[in-house]
Amino acid sequence: MYPARMPVVRLSELLGRPGPAAFLRGVVAGGRYANAYLLVGPAGVGKGTAALAFARALLCDARGGTKEQGGLFEAPDPPSAGTRATAAPGPPDDACGACPSCLKAAQLQHPDLRFLFPVSGEEKELETTVAETLQSLRDDPLYVFSYEKAASIRLSMTRELLRELGYRPFEAARRVVVVRDADRMREDQYSAMLKSLEEPGASTVWVLTTARPARLPATILSRCQRVRFGPLPEEVVAGFLRERAGVPAKTAELLAALSSGSLTRALVLRDGDPADERDAALQLLGPAARGEAAELWRAVQGFTKFGRAGREVLRRMIEFQELWLRDLLRARYGGAEVPLVNADRAGVIRKEAAGIEAAEVRRRLMVLEEVLRAVEGNVTPELALFSGLSRLTRQRFKGAAWPPHPTPRWDY
């Protein structure tokens, strides 16, 4: 059963990914740790969850996470022999889930687990922002990290940590520093981290995650053991949404199809009404097909007036169109029994599919791909969508004036 109020799960509970999870479990079982691990892969596929799960396993008492009594380190006080004796031995390659260290780490309250993540906003509110984020993460097992473009791992957050690095861990045999989106740091932070990475026999294990490894300095990259994460299979995303997020089966499938293998994306989409959004997206094609330039321009602008958020909405609009087109292909060539993503509109899709050639559907998909790329790039998104939709419906808007750029550009 999913531990509903444990923000940090165990390695064995990671979602459908035998590869990276097996690797990390192998590392735990082997008991020899590199100074740093870099979990690389697209956003929202579970790198952050895996990083914390790995940290928990490294700190587990049953895995030798606690300092040896009479060994190199002093025993923590009060002596924890009693609790250690009762701690379950647990699996050899994962956190036991029951010892004091595991429980503390699961609540992100282990003194030797440092968890850094990007934040934005005023420096004076930083502590509150961090505390609130951690609390949300504890309270909501489906918590989704989302930050603005300018969010970064702030100097004031690493300062204390960097001081601590000079000392022994508080309770555990090692300190684990998890850095989410480690590509959002400053040069001097990397230099300080590098010093720790280069230290032989260091008592700190760094676990970094990134979706943009190219932004990390080569000096850091070369000292990290890399672990690659791929997109989650659609059925894993759909299953999670159904079983753990209480999403109805049909919506779950639609969301999973839209998620590109990112659970985070699926969860963000869930907060809207996917069926309504899809209908709004499909309605955009109406004015385009009728050649109503001004109407289309107004509709397009409706999506983009919210700045960066508008861009995200717009991207989704395009993806809804793509899903629809893929359904047309499925319906036309897959036969009546092939399941459709837009199952609630199966009748409309099958009718439309009967009247359209595969080549035309592919042409439209290609146009949409170009629009998507343009939206991701620096093109004004409403212009990209406007011209894309007119190409989609082969409308040239002859005689109509190209709509003037109506508002000053916002800052991308």
Between CA 141 and CA 238 the distance in angstroms is 17
Q: Which residue has the tokens 């100074």?
A: 35
CB of 83 to Zn ion, least distance (A): 11
What letter would DSSP give residue 344? G
Residue 67 one-letter amino acid: K
Shortest distance (Å) from residue 60 CB to Zn ion:
3
Q: Shortest approach of Zn ion to residue 98 CB, angstroms?
A: 6
Give the nearer residue to Zn ion in terms of CB position, either 19 or 89: 89
Contacts (CB under 5 A) with Zn ion, residues 32-71: 60, 62
Q: How near is the Cβ of 33 to Zn ion at its closest, in Å?
A: 16
User: Which of the 8 DSSP states describes residue 61?
Assistant: G
Contact yes or no for 172/101 (Cβ under 8 A): yes
Task: Name the residue with tokens 């040896």.
Answer: 68
Q: Return the number of the residue (115 or 240) whose C-beta is nearest Zn ion.
A: 115
96 versus 182: smaller Cβ distance to Zn ion:
96
- For residue 92, which phi and psi values (nearest 5 degrees)? -70, -15
43 Cβ neighbours under 8 A, 6+ residues apart: 211, 262, 264, 265
* Residue 157 binds to Zn ion (criterion: CB under 5 A): no
Piece of the chain touching Zn ion by CB under 5 A; list 98-106, 173-181, 207-215, 400-408:
98-106
- The span of 42-50, 100-108, 234-242, 264-272 binding Zn ion (CB under 5 A) equals 100-108
Strand partners, 198: none
Least Å distance, CB 6 to Zn ion, is 12
CB of 202 to Zn ion, least distance (A): 22
Q: Are 353 and 331 in contact (CB under 8 A)?
A: yes
Burial class of residue 354 in the structure, from the number of CB atoms within 10 Å of its CB (0-12 exposed, 13-18 middle, 19+ buried): exposed
* 128: its two tokens: 């509150």
Between residues 102 and 119, which has the closer beta carbon with respect to Zn ion? 102
Q: Does 99 help bind Zn ion (rule: CB under 5 A)?
A: yes
227 membership: H or E segment, kind and range? strand 225-228
Looking at residue 58, what DSSP letter applies? H
Cβ distance to Zn ion smaller for residue 102 or 236: 102
User: Residue 319 to residues 75, 157, 181, 372: CA-CA distances in angstroms?
Assistant: 57, 37, 26, 8
Q: Which stretch binds Zn ion (CB under 5 A): 29-37, 47-55, 101-109, 111-119?
A: 101-109
For the CB of residue 104, give the shortest distance to Zn ion in the complex, in Å: 10
Closest CB 102 distance from Zn ion, rounded Å: 3
Per-residue mark of binding to Zn ion, 170-199 (x: CB under 5 A): ------------------------------
If binding means CB under 5 A, how many residues of this protein chain bind Zn ion?
A: 6
Q: Secondary structure of the chain: what % helix, strand, coil (to 5)? A: 55, 5, 40
- 96 lies in the site for Zn ion, by CB under 5 A: yes
90-98, 116-124, 306-314, 354-362 -> range binding Zn ion (CB under 5 A): 90-98
Of 102, 252, 296, 325, which one interacts with Zn ion (CB under 5 A)? 102
In sequence order, what are the residues at sequence separation of 6 or more whose Cβ sits closer than 8 angstroms to the Cβ of residue 86?
Answer: none
Q: What dihedral angle (degrees, nearest 10) is formed by the CA atoms of 170, 172, 175, 178? A: -110
Angstrom distance (rounded) from CA 24 to CA 303: 42
Segment lying near Zn ion (by CB under 5 A), choices 97-105, 194-202, 205-213, 401-409: 97-105
Which residue, 62 or 182, is less far from Zn ion as judged by CB?
A: 62
Nearer CB in complex with Zn ion: 91/388:
91
The nearest distance, CB 63 to Zn ion, in angstroms, is 7
Interface with Zn ion by CB under 5 A: which residues?
A: 60, 62, 95-96, 99, 102
